[in-house]
A and B are shown apart, each in its own frame.
Chain A
Amino acid sequence: MLQHYGPQLVNLFAAVLLLLSFAMLSQRRILSLINLYAAQGFVLFLSTALVAWLTGQHHLYGSAALTLALKVIALPWILHFLIRRLNVKWDVETLINIPTTMLVGIVLVILAFNLALPISQLAGTVTHSTFGIALASVLLSFLMMITRSKAVPQVIGFLSMENGLFFAATGAVYGMPMVIEFGVALDVLVGALILGIFVFQIRERFDSVDTRHLEKLKEH
């Protein structure tokens, strides 16, 4: 039965992933932002596991496990730990208001779909149609980083972009070879750690985590 509904399920997971990206774009509270990121990680894990089971690509099980460990458990825990130490539960104000961000998001999704059309037609994989969605989620997380002025949401935007890339990889080519998966995962983990350290140093130096304080280096 799973065999028959497999491709629709993968498309469903892709749609949910896109929905989560939109939700993160419009989210005000930081805590729910982190939970949404964890949810996105979980959907990615399910989709990878499903594809692994459908296509019998055993190395995808490994990458699914890696996603689960890293993007569902480790990183959200680090982010929660960060929020608790900085005791910041304030809501997140954005540079441009939410409705316009959503509009821009929609335009980006249309652009991503058109762009991905030729590639998805060429892709032989069962999940070829999801490449457009993956590209859209990458662009949306890019937009999220631009519109957020606080440091932590920018970090979350960066991490969700990594999710989008992983989804694109599984969508187009059933994931990159294992050694690359490990390398990328390691880089993302170290990156998150370093960003955490930075947020602490910025907090200690500027006693606020708003990037608007980080505007001294400019041309006069």
Chain B
Amino acid sequence: MAPEIALLLASPLAGGIVLALFGHRPRAAEANIGFSLLTLVAAAALVARVVADGPVTVAGEQFFIDSLNVFLVALTAFVAMTTAMFSAPYMRIERDHGRVSAGGMRLYHSMYQLFSLAMLLVLTTNNLGVMWVAMEAATLTTVLLVALYRTHASLEAAWKYFILCGVGIAQALLGTILVYFAAEKILGAGVGSLLWTHLDAVKDQLEPTVMSIAFVFLLVGYGTKVGLVPLHNWLPDAHAEGPTPVSAVLSGLLLNVALYALIRFKVITDGALERPFASHLLMGFGLASVVVAAFFLSRQRDVKRMFAYSSIEHMGLITFAFGMGGPVASFAGLLHMTVHSLTKSAIFFAVGHAAQKAGTQMMADIRGLMRVNPTVGWGLMLGTAAILGMPPFGVFASEFLILTTAIAQQPWATPILLVSLGIAFASIFGKVQPMVFGETNARRLPHPPALVPVFTHLALVLVLGLYMPPYLAAWYRQAARLIG
């Protein structure tokens, strides 16, 4: 087993176990950060190795790292680490307010580490069955976190999250079974025919009808986890009711991981079927998500719920980009995935502090953040400007690429996309502006907010917007070619 992957998976596992025992101790938050930092170091080492000598399969082809999932591994590890840094003061304040018990802190820290383990497992595994198990594990670990506060709403959100995602993932299992069934005819029984690399090699010989039915089950299954529109109902509740670090990680990372799994299957299905069946489905769902989510935004009263809908909209845009296919669109999709998770997690950090400061998540009661704490106010304002696609930031770069390819390939879709982006801009900015500007009587909080993560994320997004380092660009292009 290559040392990097071993460390990558071992540290969150160890973290989960250690924090399960000592999670309630005061120093637990720092330990949480430590473990996440260790994971990040492992991820960096892995990235260096893959960049140096190309895609690598490890441990008897059970783990497969290529340019597509290595940048997601790096992104997941980085955002997990920054969220851990943010959650240290945040959970301490929640602990002081008595909203979380000692047992709750233990549960929170251990589940946090196990959740990042599950995500990294999904990203690195080559075995589609293990991918399903890890995805199910990711759902299990977060469902308890969503219900951490045991309030009326968080219980309801957790119940819906579990039931809907459980059913969804069950469909995904049926899809995986069918893929295995189709592969078994060519590669013979046994674990070999569940390995993605093998499937990728023989994807043009796979049985088309079985693959199309399998892709439908997988699309409904993993699509529920991505939050595509007809299957999105659990997402706003789950992301809004859990503690903010959980919302940040859910919105920022879990959606990406689910979409990554869907893309892995799309590559195989495209190979198997000659007509672009999978791409059209993705485009259809993507476009529906962007339009419907945009209309939801202006009805929101809870700030985290509003940004959850914004996540649905952005995931819809990325799915639409991957649906269009072609090197530029896939490149834009990957770039948008990166900048969206960085920006959305930064926004949730700022929103977390703002909600704590104002004592409520209702936007009507949060006023004048600039007056009380300029850094939180600026974090939220710049994050909102970034997520809405205002140019100097990277989100505009990827949206520009998506829209320009859409104009070239699907001219009919562009006005719809632009109108919904415009409506989203109008509603989100209309609600965030009074929160940030104006007078207020909110009080300062005992613990100084850890806002280093917010501004590191926004700085990264700004850099991606203006100057794309050549090696990163080459990396994305390689991954985009892989997606096809």
Asked if the two chains touch in their complex, CB atoms less than 8 Å apart, one says yes
Q: Which residues of A contact B (CB under 8 A)?
A: 115, 118-119, 122-124, 135, 138, 142, 145, 151, 154, 158, 161-162, 165, 168-169, 172-174, 176-177, 179-180, 183-184, 186-187, 190-191, 194-195, 198, 201-202, 205-206, 211, 214-217, 219-220
C-alpha spacing A104/B189, complex, angstroms: 37
Residue B184 is within 8 A (CB to CB) of chain A in the complex: yes
Closest to A204 in B: B150
Contact B130 A172 (CB under 8 A): no
Closest to B182 in A: A122
Q: A187-B133, A217-B241 are in contact. Are A118 and B159 (CB under 8 A)?
A: no
Which of B129, B140, B144 is in CB contact (< 8 Å) with A177?
B129
Q: A180-B194, A217-B156 are in contact. Are A173 and B184 (CB under 8 A)?
A: yes
A-side contacts of B177, CB under 8 Å = 165, 168-169, 172-173, 176
> Digit string of B401-435 for contact with A (CB within 8 Å is 1, else 0)?
00000000000000000000000000000000000
Majority-rule SS of A interface residues: helix
A-side contacts of B184, CB under 8 Å = 173
B 320-376 contacts with A by CB, 8 A? none
The 4 closest A-B pairs by CB, nearest first: A183-B133, A180-B129, A214-B156, A187-B136
Given A183-B133, A194-B144, 20 extra CB contacts under 8 A: A118-B209, A119-B210, A122-B185, A124-B185, A138-B170, A154-B163, A161-B167, A173-B180, A176-B129, A176-B176, A177-B129, A180-B127, A187-B136, A198-B159, A205-B152, A214-B160, A217-B236, A217-B241, A219-B296, A220-B301
> Digit string of B196-213 for contact with A (CB within 8 Å is 1, else 0)?
000000000001011001
Residue B147 is within 8 A (CB to CB) of chain A in the complex: yes
- Nearest CB of chain B from residue A218's CB, rounded to whole Å: 9
- Nearest CB of chain A from residue B137's CB, rounded to whole Å: 7
Contact A122 B207 (CB under 8 A): yes
B-side contacts of A122, CB under 8 Å = 181, 185, 207, 210
Q: A180-B133, A201-B150, A205-B150 are in contact. Are A138 and B163 (CB under 8 A)?
A: no
Q: A158-B167, A180-B133, A198-B155 are in contact. Are A119 and B190 (CB under 8 A)?
A: no
C-alpha spacing A114/B69, complex, angstroms: 38
> Digit string of B206-224 for contact with A (CB within 8 Å is 1, else 0)?
0101100100000000000
Q: 21 pairs across A/B with beta carbons < 8 Å?
A: A118-B210, A119-B178, A122-B185, A138-B170, A158-B166, A165-B174, A173-B184, A176-B129, A177-B191, A183-B129, A190-B140, A191-B140, A195-B162, A198-B158, A201-B150, A202-B155, A205-B152, A206-B152, A214-B156, A219-B296, A220-B301
Residue B263 is within 8 A (CB to CB) of chain A in the complex: no
B-side contacts of A220, CB under 8 Å = 299, 301
B 142-164 contacts with A by CB, 8 A? 143-144, 147, 150, 152-153, 155-160, 162-163
Contact B194 A217 (CB under 8 A): no
B-side contacts of A198, CB under 8 Å = 147, 155, 158-159, 162
